[in-house]
Amino acid sequence: MKVWILAVLTSVSLWSFDFQGHHFIASYYDCDQEALNDREALKQVMIKAAQKAGAEVLDHCSYDFDGDGLTMVILLSESHASIHTYPEHKACFVDLFTCGNSCDNEQFHHVLAKYLKPNHFSGDILERK
């Protein structure tokens, strides 16, 4: 019974609707230490990156950890963006999930990379349908 329910719930015919989204996920390593430690500037850069990508920023919240770490989530009309920093490792991890085709992941990445100056980067874009 459980297998049949799972098969029905995951059936393409049940979930066929017109939707397209992009989920940019990235890891930035060996970043500029001062850029990671300046949490207020980094928060502003995240907002700027989302806006430069063409997203509409609705709200944001963040939490500053002892030791300079930061977690931030930006609520977008298209979905969300987030960052989690690990200054002690000179690294951070970000994502930008947007619905539709109006946002530019490259612009988001460009603004962040210009500020963070990572020596190593890995990223991917997941197509959500």
84 is catalytic: yes
Would you state the structure tokens that stand for residue 18, as one six-digit string?
A: 């017109």
The pLDDT tens digits for 79-121 are 999 999 999 999 999 999 999 888 999 999 999 999 999 999 9
What ranges do the domains of the chain cover? 17-128
Q: Could you tell me the pTM of the whole model?
A: 0.84
pLDDT score recorded for residue 106: 96
CATH superfamily, with its number, for domain 17-128: S-adenosylmethionine decarboxylase (3.60.90.10)
pLDDT in tens, 29-82: 999 999 999 999 999 999 999 999 999 999 999 999 987 899 999 999 999 999
Residue 62 is among the residues annotated as catalytic for this protein: no
Q: Which of 4-13, 14-23, 114-123 has the lowest mean pLDDT?
A: 4-13
Which one of the listed residues 79, 92, 103, 109 is annotated catalytic? 79
CB 101 within 8 A of CB 34: no
Please identify which of the residues 62, 80, 82, 99 carries the catalytic annotation.
99
Let me know if 22 is a catalytic residue.
no
* Cα torsion through 73, 75, 81, 86, rounded to 10: -10
Cα distance from N-terminal residue to C-terminal residue, the chain: 27
Q: Of these residues, 23, 60, 80, 84, which one is catalytic?
A: 84
